[in-house]
Structure 1
Amino acid sequence: MTEDRPIEDVWSDLRRTTQARIGLGRAGNSLPSQRVLEFQAAHAAARDAVHDPLDVEAFVDSLTDLDIGDAVHVRSRAETRSEYLRRPDLGRLPDDLSQVPTTEADIGIVLADGLSPRALVDHGHGMLAALIAEFDGTYRIAPPVVATQSRVALGDHIGEALGVLTLIVVIGERPGLSVADSLGIYITHRPEPGRTDADRNCISNIHPPDGLGYEAAAHITAGLVSGARRLGKSGVALKDTSRAAVEAAETLTVEG
């Protein structure tokens, strides 16, 4: 008589290294109940991340310790979350820019809710702090702007109003079934209305500890900002060489 033994989960070690949904198994013609429940929970988290509004007052208050000036709030022309989701064009246009100061700063930073306000709440402060530390006084940074019901292109209007040479938009990315709180960074040199995605550089998947960390993202951003200022443009003509430089330095250290 054969002894019954539990079936070994050959996917368990690999599953710990990724947030992808792998090795789900089967229960008859369907998935095991545990995997179905995990999927439903992930789907609910993604929906909540999209629809839950940003508490602007609390978020602005959380930025005061960074000491780069008082944050201002800008809204897009999308009046509700539903309209924002149905009308991406309205999310690219400002409702009112009268609160945005004209500055003599080199860099403007927009903190936008995007498609995941939760990502901004979870990681916005840490990401902004890492950017400030990475720049370390190299550039003059304008007071931060918090943008709601915002698409990336809303930053072009804000950057022009600020009068900055380079704009950094830190925005909540579209949630997925693995990650609901991921940030993206978009860098635009000489921001102005009419810029396209070809004029920007993007760093995505920022959500430590499982995604890109704040310090690493800030380092890449600083490299792209520096490159854009030398080249006079951002976008497809500008390549990220920061990681290659780090790898080269590590190789020299090993060989030395």
Structure 2
Amino acid sequence: MDKPDHNKPHLSPTHPHNEPMEAVTTNAWSKLNAFTDARVGLGRAGISVPTKHLLAFQLAHAQAIDAVHTPLDLANLDNQLKQQPWSPSRAPLHLHSRAIDRATYLQRPDYGRLLDTASADLLDTHRADNPQGYDLAIAVVDGLSALAVEQNTLPFLTALFEKLPVKNTAAETLSSDDCWTLAPICLVEQGRVAIGDDICQRLNAKCVLVLVGERPGLSSPDSLGLYLTWDGKVGYTDAYRNCISNVRPAGLKYQEAARKAYYLLTEARNLKLSGVKLKDRSDDELVLDNKETTNFLVSK
């Protein structure tokens, strides 16, 4: 008996002319897949999703789970940061939240917002040795995707420091008044966004920028979030923070994210505030510089 050829179209048993019938019924919305990663217009095989799309969904789900549970490779990230020309003269500080492990981190979000005792003591000692404080503290936090941190931290910071003039110590002299004194970069395990406020307060920094792995989606296990807070204090809510989301090659590009971050940092410093009172008008300036606008409220 000849083996069936599964690559050939099926024959419709009910069609009067017994014409070939494709295994997958296409969907008119499938053209939208050229513009989005969303699962739109997948078609169907009988009453089900086509096998290739089902397998792709299962792979994306597995990647999202891996992103949440894979630990951050601190040693590798630390080594990479030390080699950067813009890196502070002091080595990165390794910190940990009050969540002792991943299970606790996922079950107790409040534990991820504060430093544990050893980390708090480390920053308190550092502050005692550097009472003048800093203009900017940068916290790199594993969050819900260590993958996002490992892949996107260095490219983003490199793009940011191409725009942001920094000096490593308050004693260092640079001609521009726009320079920022930069605290040692903090690498945080089992942390959430608000842990940046604890770091900012203990380092006596004027501003904190938190780089954190965002909650993975089914098409974005590698999304990095940026959260800026002026004069961060323990207990601040999200109303005090500005957010730049989805920083990754397939989302918001590094140069664009750096442009927005530089704008917000500069405005926060000028106005001495952040959050809902600080509006991101970086795109407005870009539009006006190009003398083009789609906003009917702005004259052409």
TM-score by length of 2: 0.79
User: What is the rounded CA distance, in whole Å, between the counterparts of 1:112 and 1:172 in structure 2?
Assistant: 7
User: What is the rounded CA distance, in whole Å, between the counterparts of 2:203 and 2:162 in structure 1?
Assistant: 21
| Alignment-derived partner of residue 245 in structure 1 | 285
**Structure 2 gaps, min length 5:** 1-16, 167-178, 293-300
Kept in 2: contact 1:185–1:203 (CA 8 A): yes
| Alignment-derived partner of residue 90 in structure 1 | 111
- Displacement of 1:39 in angstroms is 0.6
The one-character-per-residue Cα deviations of 1:78-102 (angstroms, maximum 9, x if unpaired) are 0111110011010011012233332
Q: Mapping of 1:129-208 within 5 angstroms?
A: 129-137=158-166, 138-208=179-249
User: What is the rounded CA distance, in whole Å, between the counterparts of 1:98 and 1:120 in structure 2?
Assistant: 25
Kept in 2: contact 1:21–1:178 (CA 8 A): no
| Alignment-derived partner of residue 211 in structure 1 | 251
The one-character-per-residue Cα deviations of 1:109-142 (angstroms, maximum 9, x if unpaired) are 0000001011001111111222222203331221
1:74 aligns with 2:95: yes
| Alignment-derived partner of residue 99 in structure 1 | 122
Change in 2 beyond 3 A, CA 1:193/1:24? same
TM-score by length of 1: 0.92
- Displacement of 1:239 in angstroms is 0.1
User: What is the rounded CA distance, in whole Å, between the counterparts of 2:53 and 2:281 in structure 1?
Assistant: 40
| Alignment-derived partner of residue 138 in structure 2 | 109
1:123 aligns with 2:152: yes
Deviates most, 43-52 or 55-64:
55-64
Q: Where does structure 1 differ by over 3 angstroms across 4 or more consecutive aligned residues?
A: 1-13
| Alignment-derived partner of residue 174 in structure 2 | none
User: What is the rounded CA distance, in whole Å, between the counterparts of 2:204 and 2:256 in structure 1?
Assistant: 27
| Alignment-derived partner of residue 14 in structure 1 | 32
1:40 to 28, 43, 58: 58
- Displacement of 1:55 in angstroms is 1.2
1:236 to 276, 282, 286: 276
Q: Give the residue type in structure 2 aligned to 1:68.
A: P
The one-character-per-residue Cα deviations of 1:148-168 (angstroms, maximum 9, x if unpaired) are 100111111111111110100
Change in 2 beyond 3 A, CA 1:214/1:50? same
User: What is the rounded CA distance, in whole Å, between the counterparts of 1:193 and 1:175 in structure 2?
Assistant: 26
1:26 aligns with 2:44: yes
- Displacement of 1:250 in angstroms is 0.9
- Displacement of 1:16 in angstroms is 2.5
User: What is the rounded CA distance, in whole Å, between the counterparts of 1:164 and 1:29 in structure 2?
Assistant: 59
- Displacement of 1:24 in angstroms is 1.3
Q: Percent identity?
A: 42
User: What is the rounded CA distance, in whole Å, between the counterparts of 1:238 and 1:10 in structure 2?
Assistant: 43
Deviates most, 126-135 or 168-177:
126-135
Kept in 2: contact 1:11–1:23 (CA 8 A): yes
1:57 to 75, 100, 109: 75
**Structure 1 gaps, min length 5:** none
